[in-house]
Amino acid sequence: MSTLVTLPVLLPILGAALSVIFVRQATLQRLIGIVVLVAVCVVAAVLLVAADRTGPVVVELGGWPAPVGIVLVADRLSALLLLISTVVTLAVLVYAIDQRISDYGRDTASTTFHPIFLLLSTGVSLAYLTGDLFSLFVAFEIMLAASYVLITRRTNAERIRSGMTYVIISLTSSLLFLTTIALVYASTGTVNLADLAGRVAALPPGLRTLLSMLTIVTFGIKAAMVPLHFWLPDSYPNAPAPVTALFAGLLTKVGIYALLRTQTLIFPGDGPSAVLLVLAVLTMVVGALGALAQNDLNRLLSFLLVSHIGFMLFGLAVDDARGAAGTALYIVHHITVQATLFLVSGLITRRTGTVSIDQMGGLARRSPVLAVLFAVPALTLAGIPPTSGFVAKLALLQAGAAGTVGTVVVAGFVVLASLLTLWAVVRVWIRVFWGADKEPLPDDDPHDELVIGTSKTSAPMYVASAALVAVSIAIAAAAGPLSAVTERAGADLIARVPYLEAVLG
Amino acid sequence: MTATPEQKIPFEQWDAPSGEWTLPGACPVRTNRTLLLEAATRFLFPVVLVFSVYLLIVGHYAPGGGFQGGLTAGLAFVLRYIAGGGSEGVEIGSRLRLRPPVLMGTGLLLAMITAFAPVLVGRPVLSSAKVSFLGVEVVSSLLLDVGVYLLIIGVVLDLLRSLGSGIERDAEAGQGERP
């Protein structure tokens, strides 16, 4: 069983190696990617069941025991997030493969796309599973290095510029992360998360606060928390649709996961954190207001992404089992729905030849399937019952209502931000899907992947998007068992004991 | 070069080189050749490669390892590129039958196989064992280092191909000036 924990990390590397070797066989390359990700999905599901029934599954790499060696830990939270992330990655891969086939032909193989895509998946898996602060850094670096390649492939000048913003801001946050690790190691003498839980508690309060704030800033940049969010709406929309979907779905949420893990395990507070509550309100409101001002569909979705990061921060700030459970549930819901929206936005762009909302119109009549594919995740994002967004927001609101006066006030802002989200998506709906039918614009630069203004869209791209819509509906349908799991995961996070016992024995 | 009875090398020529002094395959029509560098490369190339293998093997007990060995070996190829390469990538391209991505993939594959192999004998992933090989004690994780070694050489060769000869080719084709 414990060997299984290593598979989500090692299998994608193996897949990357094979797809580099078979660089001339385009079909084989595609097959390798899909088979590997399906295998990781199965492993993640098995891990989730095992972690839920018998407690965290731990593997000591190379047989070196815990505080000295590196451990991989699959507890309820990490196994659940691993499962949903891999499902989304798989759907995005299918979409991307099909987009590449319809744009460049069936025989076009790539030396970079497939291996890098799988390496990104390795980084995400390692970030969820690792029980070691330095491995977490390595995981982020694998993820980021892969994302630098994906965001700047097939470039034009504008994308190089926005890619540079992304690379520089990511390097800055990596540097901060490394500094934090150095400080943590200097003050405690360990980087094992479970070991740190005990040793950081013995540090002077001032030092503890410093380390805690450093991790919040580091992971806050990666999660696009206001006021560290400015890079996201600038860089994400300039990548091709599947890449944006993958980044928006996974990368920011990995940042939130790292925040959740470190704040609950290493820096447990006593009661709601005022700093995080203020940051949560700022993130929710600034993101939502930013979205209302946008005319570019992808930029609008990016601002909504920032806004919803605030929701997850809120659950974290409440700092009790319900809050942590709410955040976990929200991450699951948001990974799915945000990736879906960006994929559908890619389909809309291909249909209309533009990303500008003003230049679209009448799509509901011309393409009813697209209208349904957009409407369901949009309403899910806004949190209309009975969607998964409603279930996740309800969990957060309940956590807020059960807390102090501060959390109740912030819960009000959650409702406000949800209304603003609804306003933003309804605005998109009215302008894009209703109104006069407009002719698709021609593609002014056929060599970039960004805007492809032809109606060349094959069925599997719709199927992949529809599959993700189905996943988010399934999340709503399985809300009972799922929220039971996240509640147990939240209780584990706050109690800390199951994790510590599993790792340190 | 030892003289065998069949070859009958005259005494005065006992230390004459058996091959060309310049790099084989180097573009003969290039005007800006550096003969000194080419001849020095001829000597240095095998020495650097042997040293890189030394670094690779010694890495388990002393400074060195797959990454360092791979970089050193990569530098040997960089030297060849500087001495004999050009816009056509003559030197590297004419001597190398293996495509760099395949080398990278093979290295990664070897490393992953080494990581998984202990599971087959019931040990944890990535654990290693000491193996006596021809009377020399070798650690099984050396194979992982060999994988890293191949991977790094592949990366350096790929860089030479894309950022080296690729850019020179672009510049000569007049595509060097971009807005």
Q: Which residues of B touch A23 (CB under 8 A)?
A: 99, 101-102, 105
Inside any domain, residue B58: yes
Sign of the alpha-carbon torsion through B105, A222, A499, A411 = negative
Least confident residue range of A214-223, A258-267, A345-354: A345-354
Structure confidence by residue, pLDDT tens digits, A328-365:
999 999 999 999 999 999 998 888 888 888 888 888 88
pLDDT tens sequence across B138-174: 888 889 999 999 999 999 988 888 787 777 777 777 6
Residues with Cβ within 8 Å of B2's Cβ and at least 6 positions away in sequence, in order, are none
CA distance B148 to chain A (A): 12
* Residue B123, pLDDT above cutoff 90: no
On whether the CB atoms of residues A119 and A142 are closer than 8 A, the answer is yes
Distance CA A81, CA A166 (A): 25
Give every CB contact of residue A8 below 8 A, 6+ residues apart in sequence.
A40, A43, A44, A47, A82, A86, A125, A128, A129
Q: According to the model, what pLDDT value does residue A100 have?
A: 83
Quick check: B20 pLDDT over 80? Answer: no
Q: Which of A129, A125, A142, A116 is nearest to A33 (CA)?
A: A116
What digits encode the pLDDT tens for the residues A58-78? 999 888 888 888 999 999 999
Residue B36 in domain:
yes
Chain B contact set for A60 (CB, 8 A): 124
Residue B8 structure tokens: 């009958």
Alpha-carbon gap: A199 to the closest alpha carbon of chain B (Å): 28
Whether this model's ipTM surpasses 0.90 comes out as no
Q: Tokens representing A158? A: 């504008």
In this prediction, residues A362-384 reach a mean pLDDT of: 91
List the beta bridge partners of residue B109: none
Question: From the list A14, A16, A63, which residue is nearest B124 (CB)?
Answer: A63
Best probe of the A interface among B108, B110, B119, B120, by most A CBs < 10 A, is B108
What is the DSSP secondary structure assignment for residue B12, as one 8-state letter?
Answer: G
What span, in angstroms and rounded, lies between the C-alpha atoms of B79 and A307?
Answer: 53
Give residue A452's pLDDT.
Answer: 57
Q: Say whether B106 and A17 touch across the interface (CB within 8 A).
A: yes
Chain A residue with minimal CA distance to B99? A21
A61 to chain B, closest Cα gap in Å: 6
Quick: pLDDT tens for A137-195: 999 999 999 999 998 887 777 788 888 989 999 999 999 999 999 999 999 999 999 99
Q: What is the pLDDT of residues A289-339, one digit of tens each?
A: 999 999 999 999 999 999 999 999 999 998 889 999 999 999 999 999 999
Domain that holds residue B166: 11-173
Q: Which residue of B has its CA nearest to A19?
A: B105
Chain B CA closest to residue A11:
B112
What SS3 class is residue B15?
A: coil
Q: Is residue B178 part of a domain?
A: no
| d(C-alpha A339, C-alpha A373), whole Å | 12
The nearest alpha carbon in chain B to A20 belongs to B105
Q: Is the link from the previous residue into B118 a cis peptide, with omega within 30 of 0?
A: no
The residues facing B138 across adjacent strands are B131
Cis peptide bond prior to A227, omega within 30° of 0: yes
- pLDDT value for A273: 84
> Are the beta carbons of B124 and A59 separated by less than 8 Å?
yes
Regarding predicted confidence, which is higher, A115 or B130?
A115
d(CA A2, CA A46): 11
The B residues from 74 to 103 touching A (CB cutoff 8 Å) are 99, 101-102
Query: Residues A3-53: pLDDT tens digits?
Result: 899 999 999 999 999 999 988 888 999 999 999 999 999 999 999 999 999
Are B108 and A10 inside 8 Å of each other by CB? no
The pLDDT tens digits for A98-117 are: 888 887 777 777 778 999 99
What pLDDT does A110 receive? 78
Q: Which of B99, B109, B126 sits opposite A61 (nearest CB)?
A: B126
Report yes or no on B6 lying in a domain.
no
**CB distance A63–B101 less than 8 Å?**
no
pLDDT band at A396 (very low <50, low <70, confident <90, very high): very high
Q: How many domains does chain B have?
A: 1
For residue B178, the model assigns a pLDDT of 45
Is A73 in a helix, a strand, or coil?
strand
At B179 the pLDDT is 39
Q: Which residue has the tokens 């893990």?
A: A261
Q: Please name which of A2, A45, A261, A4 lies closest in space to residue A132, comparing C-alpha atoms.
A: A261
Q: What is the pLDDT of residue A289?
A: 94
Assigned domain for B38 exists: yes
pLDDT value of residue B176: 47
The predicted pLDDT at position A42 comes to 97
Q: From B101, which residue of chain A is nearest by alpha-carbon distance?
A: A20
B87 has a pLDDT exceeding 70: no
Residue closest to A321 by CA, chosen among A80, A77, A492, A501: A492
Number of folded domains that form chain A: 1
Which pTM value belongs to this model? 0.90
Cβ partners under 8 Å of residue A407, min gap 6: A272, A277, A314, A317, A318, A399, A400, A401
Q: Which of B60, B103, B125 to mutate to test the interface with A (most CBs of A within 10 A)?
A: B125
Average pLDDT value for residue range B48-59: 94
Residue A307 Cα, gap to closest chain B Cα (Å): 37
DSSP letters spanning A186-229: HHHS--BHHHHHHHHHTS-HHHHHHHHHHHHHHHHHHHT-TTS-
Name the band, by pLDDT with cuts 50, 70 and 90, for residue B25: low
Residues of chain B neighbouring A1 (CB-CB closer than 8 A) = none
Q: What pLDDT sits at residue B105?
A: 93
Phi and psi at residue B68, to the nearest 5°: -65, -45
- Tell me the CA distances in angstroms from A256 to A213, A250, A316, A367, one per residue in order: 14, 10, 9, 36
* Count of beta carbons in the 10 Å neighbourhood of residue A401: 12
In the predicted model, what is the mean pLDDT of residues A423-434? 92
Phi, psi of A54 (to 5 degrees): -120, 10
Could you tell me which residues come within 8 angstroms of residue A146 by beta carbon, excluding any fewer than 6 positions away? Answer: A116, A117, A119, A120, A123
* SS3 assignment for B112-177: HHHHHHHHHCCCCCCCCCEEEECCEEEECCHHHHHHHHHHHHHHHHHHHHHHHHHHHHHHHCCCCC
Asked, for residue B5, whether it belongs to a domain, the answer is no
